[in-house]
Structure 1
Amino acid sequence: MKPSVVIALAAVLVAAQYASLADAYGPRVIIVGAGMSGISAGKRLWESGVRELLFLEATERVGGRMHKHNFGGLNVEIGANWVEGIGGERVNPILPIVNDTLKLRNFYSDFDSVVGNFYRENGGLYDKDYVQKRMDRADEVEDLGANLTKMMDPSGRDDISILAMQRLFNHQPNGPSTPVDMALDYYKFDYEFAEPPRVTSLQNTEPTPTNADFGEDSNFVADQRGFESIIHYIGSSYLSTNANGKISDRRVLLNKVVRQIAYNNRGVVVKTEDGSSYAADFVVVSTSLGVLQSDLIQFKPQLPFWKIFSIYRFDMAVYTKIFLKFPRRFWPVGDGKQFFVYASRRRGYYGMWQSFEREYPGVPVLLVTVTDDESRRIEQQPDDVTKAEAVAVLRKMFPDVDVPNATDIYVPRWWSNRFFKGSYSNWPIGVNRYEYDQLRAPVGRVYFTGEHTSERYNGYVHGAYLAGIDSADILINRIFKNEEYKVRGKYEDQAAEVNGQVAEAK
């Protein structure tokens, strides 16, 4: 008998066994991944009465892309770092946990002052008024793009890239081209979405739902307990924790790399790289979009074409925060000096810098952010080369200052890591709510969650948190109400709107 047939039969037998147990003890659910979405989904399932939960986490830790790293004796965030979306009428659900419950140290990010800190390629600051004028024009074009979005068909068929919108309103055939305009463009878009305007959807990012719903301010979390402590707090309501408040529950298995998910109409069997197999009634896959787009996990049978197609429609972006430590501080500090920009003719080349005078007082550390192709390039070269490149840029920015060599560097490699394959999802051109319905839709007893399944908040911490709840609710409806998830038709909203208009006219 072929090995594949043996595995399939085993899946049927073991899953059938648990299916029969479900009647007496409730369904057993495996959650693949112990990041924000997985832990959030587990909490929702637990609260609904689903108590047979098992987490299979590929890495040695809980937290996913919320990850603190000890850099020269200082815990820094190499993944998610900001509570984004503050100051609006609605409250970002992450903010009360940060401020009121855990009281994590966090600081307002003064992005408005960035226009006064644009450095020429060969040193010296650009005139602030000139940069502000260019920023005002970029903001004007962005507002025109947001107005254009309101006129577009909800199906997404009219969608264009942000770059196409810039061409339309800014009369720049190839988009921003001067060093200042390119740096501003990078700051406004790549620094947020981790991909350039030529690939990013206008319709689904202008305005950004996070800003529209929760506000335009952002707070930088700089607590030695780590931003990931939010996940441990959420999990602590139903999982055991240690004396430090970290999840240490026997139902959370670490270093369990899922390589195969076999499923049928009776149950699922999840096989890990160490040869272990785990049977359940359902599985919730909370891996990153990048992992779904890779060959790490094999589905048996293969996922249907509509599901595979939806997975590959979306982009997994790369956002790299490079930390550099120096023997002393040489950069300007004080009010309005938190962020500074290197306006290079090479777009995105060590452009966005951040100092930590308030966050980590007295610690001579700088953060420089790169994205997309620069991230991939840097991930593939030795850290000493990256350190030399970054210091060379600083010496160009500050030609009259004695810029010392960096004593240490840390370069996260999210793209190269097979358990992540990127930092977070980006919404590309031509994708709309219909494709998001497909992306989060279950296939039989296999369910999906993650920030990439959040229609309004993909790419954000609050998006991951809310996606876990939403995906759990889909499964809860299946378990307790026997309701199948329905992917709405691509033009369903339009038809409802037209019918409503006709009824009103009558």
Structure 2
Amino acid sequence: MDPNGLKTGGLLLPTIERRCTSPPSVIVIGGGISGVAAARALSNSSFKVTVLESRDRIGGRVHTDYSFGCPIDMGASWLHGVCNENSLAPLIGYLGLRLYRTSDDNSVLYDHDLESYALFDKDGNQVPKETVDKVGETFERILEEERVLTGGHGLMVNGYYPVIEALAQGLDIRLNQRVTEITRQYNGVKVTTEDGTSYFADACIISVPLGVLKANIIKFEPELPSWKSSAIANLGVGVENKIAMHFDRVFWPNVEVLGMVGPTPKACGYFLNLHKATGNPVLVYMAAGRFAQEVEKLSDKEAVSLVVSHLKKMLPDATEPTQYLVSRWGSDPNSLGSYSCDLVGKPADVCARFSAPVENLYFAGEAASAEHSGSVHGAYSSGIAAAEECRKRLLTLKGIPDLVQVAAWEEMAGAVAPLQICRT
């Protein structure tokens, strides 16, 4: 058990012994959940794996901050689909991590149920429930056409970092290694970083964010084929930012969401009430769309002042925060966006082309998940899938018999551990 009481000591799957002098080698570019999951799977199959991460930390767009004295997820926060069909559920259950369910099976109003909301207009007046009900009905009809897992949405009470930490245990992860060039060679792949260091391996799994690939920060030699480069171009990137604020006292109602509506992007958004889920006096303002991009042009103080001014219209007794954090995922050179999204009029097979390998290069990340793009479990699943495809190909090329399948989490734990879910 670690100091937080989470199970980590027995997390690693037993390493598979292989009778070969030169185990297959793989470089994983990107230390987010997709890359770390891929590295974990390959390492458990006795592959030689090196993870190259451009940041000074692992996790990527999964980033839990502890400066408030409590875990605050400044990137991904939810498990979307609190059910055993979710690929991350066995791991989260095994680690004993708690979830706070923020909606029922059908999610409305910014992914939250109507029973726990307070919605205000730009002048601070509460919107009638009848109006919100009409919005909710429309949103439900939209959801019926989407592939949404059952079980609603679970907020990670302890943050997402324990998941990343558990997956990364024992892996060879090199931080502050920004990749600038990937060269396919006849006998493998060469990866060069910004400081001139070169790494060589049999194959490479690329799990950097879509925004980084679209910006052509990484040079490919030879160039990627047109079907791959067009897939990268034809996927969109969205931006969502968070302004987390810690207060000395709770002055807001005991609801999950304080929402705002108005005629401009600045007047639309919502405050997530973490006090209801975690007991900490924290509100997190969720900025999306054009306003999310505008936040990135403001200083931390300016961004906080702007959202607090809205908060004071809604709740006249609102106080100034004692601490605050502001994310800038769109301008962060390590992400250049928050999540992938479909673009209107683009081919239906774009996601399949994006995730398809190019010789000994494999692609993973939330953008590579056709059914669950933009989600943590989509990123996790794509990493596992890329690792499995890479594993099978390299074993075949090296003439190594594929005798053992990597065990699933529930097989390792002996049984599926129940998810710890609360609503109070």
Question: Normalised by the size of structure 1, how large is the TM-score?
Answer: 0.69
Instruction: Report whether the alignment pairs 1:73 with 2:69.
Output: yes
| Offset of residue 83 of structure 1 | 0.8
SS at match of 1:331: coil
Structure 1 runs of 4+ off > 6 angstroms? none
* Amino acid in structure 2 at the alignment position of 1:305: S
Alpha-carbon distance in structure 1 between the residues aligned to 2:21 and 2:95: 38
Q: Is the 8 A contact 1:260 1:272 kept in 2?
A: yes
Shift of 1:45: 2.3
Aligned to 1:26: 23
User: Would you say the 8 A contact 1:82–1:220 is kept in 2?
Assistant: yes
1:219 to 143, 154, 160: 154
- Per the alignment, residue 124 of structure 1 pairs with 125
- Distance, in Å, in 2 between the alignment partners of 1:94 and 1:397 is 37
- Please point out which of 169, 177, 198 is paired with 1:256: 177
Which of residues 361, 372, 379 in structure 2 aligns to 1:457?
372
Write out aligned runs for 1:275-354 (5 A).
275-333=196-254, 337-347=255-265, 349-354=267-272
Instruction: Work out the CA distance in 1 between the residues paired with 2:383 and 2:200.
Output: 22
Matching residue of 2:409:
none
Measured in 2, the distance between the counterparts of 1:93 and 1:379 equals 33
SS at structure 2 position matched to 1:271: strand
% identical aligned pairs: 30
Alignment check: 8 A CA contact 2:205 2:361 kept: yes
SS where residue 227 of structure 2 aligns? helix
Residue 100 (structure 2) aligned to one of 100, 103, 107: 107
Query: Higher strand fraction: Structure 1 or Structure 2?
Result: 2
Distance 1:415 1:321, change over 3 A: same
Number of the residue aligned with 1:19: none
Distance of aligned partners of 1:378 and 1:279 in 2 relative to their CA distance in 1, 3 Å threshold: same
- Give the SS at the match of 1:234: helix
Q: Does the aligned pair in 1 maintain the 2:265–2:290 contact within 8 Å?
A: no
Are residue 415 (structure 1) and residue 415 (structure 2) matched? no
1:481 Cα deviation after fit: 3.4
Q: Quick check: 2:116–2:257 contact (8 Å CA) kept in 1?
A: no
Query: Separation in 1 of the partners of 2:360 and 2:319?
Result: 57
- The CA deviation at 1:116 is 5.0
Kept in 2: contact 1:351–1:370 (CA 8 A) = yes
TM-score using structure 2 length: 0.82
Q: Does 1:42 align with 2:42?
A: no
Matching residue of 1:233: 166
1:389 paired to 2:306: yes
Q: How far, CA to CA, are the matches of 2:228 and 2:95 in structure 1?
A: 38
Gaps of 5+ in 2: 1-19, 104-111, 399-424
Deviation at 1:432, TM superposition (A): 5.2
CA distance in 1: counterparts of 2:69 and 2:43, whole angstroms: 38
Alignment check: 8 A CA contact 2:256 2:274 kept: yes
Displacement of 1:218 after TM fit? 0.6
Q: Which position in structure 2 is the counterpart of 1:91?
A: 85
2:11 match:
none
In structure 2, what is the equivalent of residue 165 of structure 1?
A: none
**1:116–1:128 contact (8 Å) kept in structure 2:** no
- Matched letter for residue 124 of structure 1: N
Give 1:353 deviation, angstroms: 1.3
Q: How does 1:107-186 map to 2 (within 5 A)?
A: 107-110=100-103, 111-113=112-114, 117-140=118-141, 142=142, 146=144
Decide whether the 8 Å contact of 1:326 with 1:404 is kept in 2: yes
Q: Which runs of 5+ in 1 are unaligned?
A: 1-22, 147-205, 241-248, 484-506
Cα distance in 1 for partners of 2:324, 2:203 equals 43
Report the count of equivalent residues: 372
Task: Tell me the residue number matched to 1:202.
Answer: none
Mapped pair 1:379 → 2:379: no
Larger Rg: 1
Q: Deviations over 1:379-410 (max 9, x none)?
A: 11111111111111112223xx3322233321
Q: Which has the higher helix share?
A: 1
- Equivalent residue letter for 1:366: L
